[in-house]
Amino acid sequence: MKIFKSKQKLQKEILYEKNISFVPTMGSLHKGHEFLIKKSKKIGGKTLVTIFVNPKQFNKKSDYNNYPRNIKNDLILLKRLKVNFVYIPNKREIFSFKPNKSVFLDKVSKKLCGQFRKGHFEGVLDVVNRFLEILNPKRIYLGKKDFQQLYLIKKHIQKRKIKTKVIACKTIREINGVACSSRNKRLNKKQLRIASQVYKFLFKIKKKSKLNLNILKRKILRFGVNKIDYLEIYNVESFRKGLKLNTNTNIFVSYHLGKVRLIDNI
């Protein structure tokens, strides 16, 4: 496993690599990241993982500062998974150049998380666009937990005619049903139990075709959730709001447990 902090040294190393699978992360790696990496290795070629906590996608400086970081443990895991390349840039490395392609921000960015995290998706796409230019990967692996982000990155790549293929991977969950997330490390045992209750409740009621979302919100708040940002039904193909559940729709939820904001789609 080769570790790079310099963009120039990394690009020199991968200059003639035509089959790179890219797994972008903000570190504090978990089973979801591990699944993406293992899937990329099955395809063949070289696997490249980035670790970069992107300041532009955080609405609050305190959230950025409190985001869990553990580079030492991350590198141990990546070495065990036999990742080929790890790129750990600093902010200057990433933001010191003007990308050749501008960011395409689909109108979907204004929905769901976009309503509550102003500038979040602009920040995400800015950095992903920069990484794609630096690395020129054949594939990028993204999880469906962050479905809105996945949708927007895919639209950007299509619109800007970037040759990287998006590989969407299923949401990986803990034994209690909670979607794997680095933010879970900031939850205490009681909050993890509440998150598990929310997931199991939504999974169970998804079997119904028509739902009263206001009643569902009240029930979720009774579990001990501090605040709900949104609870909506969306078509996963068109990303249009729906009224009924079917094979093409998911329940999208964002809620707060203490100072931790969680998202999921079921």
pLDDT, tens digit (0-9, with 9 covering 90-100), for 141-180: 999 999 999 999 999 999 999 999 999 999 999 999 999 9
- For the stretch 57-80, pLDDT in tens is 998 889 999 999 999 999 999 999
* Residue 231 confidence (pLDDT) above 90: yes
pTM for the model = 0.96
- Whether residue 159 is found in the same domain as residue 57: yes
Backbone dihedral angles phi then psi of residue 163, each to the nearest 5 degrees: -80, -5
Active site residue 33: yes
Of the residues 116, 148, 169, which one is the last residue of a structural domain? Answer: 169
In a domain, 251, yes or no: yes
Of the pLDDT bands very low, low, confident and very high (cuts 50, 70, 90), residue 244 is confident
- Residues 50, 104, single domain; the answer is yes
Confidence of residue 18 (pLDDT cuts 50, 70, 90): very high
Same domain, 165 and 214: no
Are 140 and 26 in the same domain?
A: yes
Domain-embedded: residue 177: no
Instruction: Let me know if residue 176 belongs to a domain.
Output: no
CATH of the domain at 227: 3.30.1300.10
Q: What is the pLDDT of residue 251?
A: 96
Q: Which of 76, 36, 68 is nearest to 184 (CA)?
A: 68
Catalytic one among 30, 33, 120, 156?
Answer: 33
Torsion sign, CA atoms 133, 134, 139, 142: negative
pLDDT for the residue numbered 247? 85
Beta-bridge partner residues of 251: 233
Which of 111, 140, 169 finishes a domain?
Answer: 169
- CA–CA gap between residue 243 and residue 232 (Å, rounded): 9
Domain count for the chain: 2
In a domain, 175, yes or no: no
Same domain, 197 and 144: no
Residue 46: the pLDDT is 97
CA torsion, points 58, 32, 49, 185, in degrees to nearest 10? 50
Give the per-residue pLDDT at 44. 85
Residue range 176-187, pLDDT digits in tens:
999 999 999 999
* Position 96 in a domain: yes
Q: Kindly report, residue by residue over 108-119, the tens digit of the pLDDT.
A: 999 999 999 999
pLDDT at res. 134? 98
Burial 157-172 (b: 16+ CB within 10 A, else e): beeeebebebbebebb
Check residue 60 and give its pLDDT: 87
What CATH number does residue 125 fall under? 3.40.50.620
Tens digits of per-residue pLDDT, 206-217?
A: 887 678 999 999
Q: What is the mean pLDDT of the chain?
A: 96
Print the domain residue range for 153: 2-169
| Residue partners of 96: CB distance under 8 A and separation at least 6 | none
